[in-house]
Amino acid sequence: MSSTPGLDIDGLIETATNGIQSYLDKALRDGKITESQYSDAKKKSIDNLSQWLKDPNIDDLSPHLKPGLVAAISAGKWEQLVNAFRKKMSFGTGGIRGLMADDRESIVRLQEDGLDVPIIKGPNTLNDVVLLLTSAGVAKFGVNKGFNKIVIGYDSRTRGADFARRITELFLQYSYTVYLFDEPCPYPEVTYAIPYLKADMGILLSASHNDYRYNGYKLSCGNGSQFDPKERTEMYNDYILHATTDDIKLCKLQDAAPGKLIFLGGSEKIEGVEYFGCKIIDIHKEHCDHIKSFLLRDNKSTTGESLKIGFCAFHGAGRKAVPRLLKETGFDYVNMITRNGLGELNGLFPSFNSKPGEEQQPDPGDPRAAKIAVETFQEEFPGEWKKLDILLGTDPDADRCGTVVKVPENQRFLYNGRDYMLMPADDMWALLVWFRLKFDKSINPQEAFIVLSHTTSDSMARVAIKNGLGVVKTWVGFAALSAGVRDAWDHCLTQGLVEGKQNANDELCHHYLYETGNMAGKRTYNLAAMEQSNGFSILGLPPADAFSLGEKGHVRDKDGTFASILIAEVAKYAKENNTTIYELIDNEIYLDPDIGYFVNYYEPDPLDGEYPGIEGDRLKISILKKALKLNQQGNAGGLSFQGQAVKSSMIYRTGKYDHVYPPTDDFKFPDEGIRFYFDDEKTNHLTIRPSGTTNSLRFHVQLHCFSEKGHLINKKKELRTSARKIVDEVREIIGAPRNSEIDY
């Protein structure tokens, strides 16, 4: 029984049982949940709540947790309690990510009062106990593997430093040497520090670009990439799932044995940070020097006008890293946005809408975020906007990079008259591939290849093929991209479609790969790894060992700070040649007769956040079932969208989320999406792809044409309009209406 004085556990559980049952009964009657959800949630919510209320260790770990639950039970917050206790937080490809709380008041209280604030905490919310339980499983897994060194970082999320120091105490008690960042840091510095320090693994506390209510736990292995699925499954099934509060053992930072706690940061200690007399390593300099090695030109201004750069950190960890890197690499004209708190570390993300149901994300790949950055720049630097060449932005953990560019006057009608647009990563990465092939003379095309996710534009694949490079197309996420590169290094790829059925019968696909092109011969140099969600890196040649970066390669996960520097280098080249990034893409990519114009249109659903809670689970699966019926119709013939006939349809499924959505006779989770092809060449298509860890979907449309210079602008208008209408139509058919408008 709990040691909390005066707590009537049995009475609380009885009250909660009645309240939860009443809520679930009504939700079932109203059709908001299914029978299976009802029975599962009823059992697990009550069992998990009882377990937490009866656990005496929680009184020591988080003394105000149970009073928070008592208050919630007394207030009859049954829906919130069900959502907090109906399951354990899902473990995805890179770790865990989820809501700390679903309301602003709770997050504000967390920010003001600390980790032990009495808000609703359970196994399905991101809180101190869940992080410690997860860390205990990770620590025991590592001990069994002989691991003894770990890197721990955090971004600008609410109470990130406190969460990081809390799990550091656990790893210290498990006899790890812990390298702890002394302030919010970019995820790419964590993934760089791991192999640089020869650590065994690393953790970043971050929810990337999600809104202020979320936090997460990104887990990396010894080379900085995400863990191999086999190891990740072992870690979760054999260790994390079985971790209990008895496994949570802590060592205060001030009690760490000599040499066991080492701080990572810059050349000097930060005022106000307690280092406990421990050593500090200047990892910023090492990361910067490494990035410098990838520059292809001298970017210092010796003659001519400097490249004029604006930068927006979106309240995140890029606020110091990106301006520092730009300065160190020769870009001497950078205006960083600080107004409205955009340059401040603030996990509440005050520049973004936080109304219930409309919580915006600080995502540099979202045109609405770009609009916020542009308007704030114009307010803060009046008169500078007209001079500006590019505006760069990174998300809170700085692994994504977005680029705002100026639009020529004759094309502004495409953007409702605006003189700027957010350059899609699909186009930016194609231009980066083109640029590096143009200036990196050390590349032997016959030994090089690129890797991209299957929802990323085929434009970059055509750039690669045109120049003699190989192409690996794989599943979504940098874990798959990194694994695809590893397979290429190990020479285990085959030409064409990878073996493994990919059809309506839903046989499992290859864990990593979708298809390859032009990969004959010994191709070992990865020129670029790219994904539509603003992720980029260069993995280079095979590494010396399993705990190293690739030779001449960068980190094995996406790096928005790295991408910022490479994009600035392209923009400087464009300016020196009296053109812009926008016009370079038109002339070097779209008008190339071997490549052509691609429009890659993307929308998330919902546009912000996710369908909430247990009711969101039902809605997501209901929408997917309608999409699966469309797949059957597509293969039977007669299906079309906006007059474009579907020639074939495919379910892409790897089974990686079967632990979250166990297969049934009538539903198997199509984790990599359902794709509808509009041509026999499979160039034009629509994809409906579900998230595996949140109740959300993604819509992707790729359309392609060839065009001569005088007709390109009209083709842009035609294909952009068509792509948007295709998404509108499929949304209506499957019951996923847009919850707010977005101006692309």
pLDDT of residue 303: 60
Q: Where are the alpha helices (DSSP H) in 453-492?
A: 459-466, 478-489
Per DSSP bridges, beta strands 597-605 and 280-282 are unpaired
pLDDT of residue 5: 65
Residue 719: pLDDT band (50, 70, 90) is very high
pLDDT of residue 664: 87
Q: Is the dihedral of CA 319, 321, 326, 330 positive or negative?
A: positive
Reply yes or no on whether the pLDDT at 499 is more than 70.
no
Domains of the chain and CATH, by start:
1-87 (no CATH), 90-287 (3.40.120.10), 291-421 (3.40.120.10), 427-593 (3.40.120.10), 598-734 (3.30.310)
pLDDT of residue 299: 78
In this structure, what DSSP letter does residue 91 have? B
> pLDDT digits over 364-412, tens only?
999 999 999 999 999 999 999 999 999 999 999 999 999 999 999 999 9
Side chain identity at residue 299, one-letter code: N
What is the C-alpha separation between 76 and 89, in angstroms, rounded? 23
> pLDDT digits over 2-19, tens only?
456 678 899 999 999 999
Residue 504: pLDDT band (50, 70, 90) is very low
Question: What mean pLDDT is predicted for residues 230-250?
Answer: 93
> pLDDT digits over 292-344, tens only?
999 999 877 666 689 999 999 999 999 999 999 999 999 999 999 999 889 99
What is the C-alpha separation between 619 and 605, in angstroms, rounded? 12
Closest by CA to 373, choosing from 460, 463, 312, 458, is 312
pLDDT of residue 657: 86
Structure tokens at 642: 């906006």
What is the C-alpha separation between 567 and 562, in angstroms, rounded? 9
Distances (CA, A) of 188 to 281, 432, 696: 16, 19, 26
> pLDDT digits over 588-630, tens only?
999 999 999 999 999 999 988 889 999 999 999 999 999 999 9
What is the C-alpha separation between 369 and 290, in angstroms, rounded? 30
Ramachandran area for residue 569 (φ above 0: left; ψ -120 to 50: alpha; else beta): alpha
**58 SS3 class:** helix
Structure tokens at 208: 């990337």
Reply yes or no on whether the pLDDT at 694 is more than 60.
yes
Rg (CA), the chain: 25
In this structure, what DSSP letter does residue 37 have? H
For 241-317, where are the E strands, in sequence order?
A: 261-265, 280-282, 309-312
Residue 94: pLDDT band (50, 70, 90) is confident
> pLDDT digits over 443-453, tens only?
999 999 999 99
Reply yes or no on whether the pLDDT at 1 is more than 70.
no
Residue 500: pLDDT band (50, 70, 90) is very low
Average pLDDT, the chain: 92
Q: Is the dihedral of CA 437, 443, 448, 452 positive or negative?
A: negative
**105 SS3 class:** helix
Reply yes or no on whether the pLDDT at 508 is more than 50.
no
> pLDDT digits over 30-73, tens only?
999 999 999 999 999 999 999 999 999 999 999 999 999 999 99
Burial per residue of 154-168, b for 16 or more beta-carbon CB atoms within 10 angstroms, e otherwise? bbbbbbbbebbbbbb
Query: Prior bond to 362 cis, omega within 30?
Result: no
> pLDDT digits over 551-583, tens only?
999 999 999 999 999 999 999 999 999 999 999
Residue 502: pLDDT band (50, 70, 90) is very low
> pLDDT digits over 268-290, tens only?
999 999 999 999 999 999 999 99
pLDDT of residue 491: 77
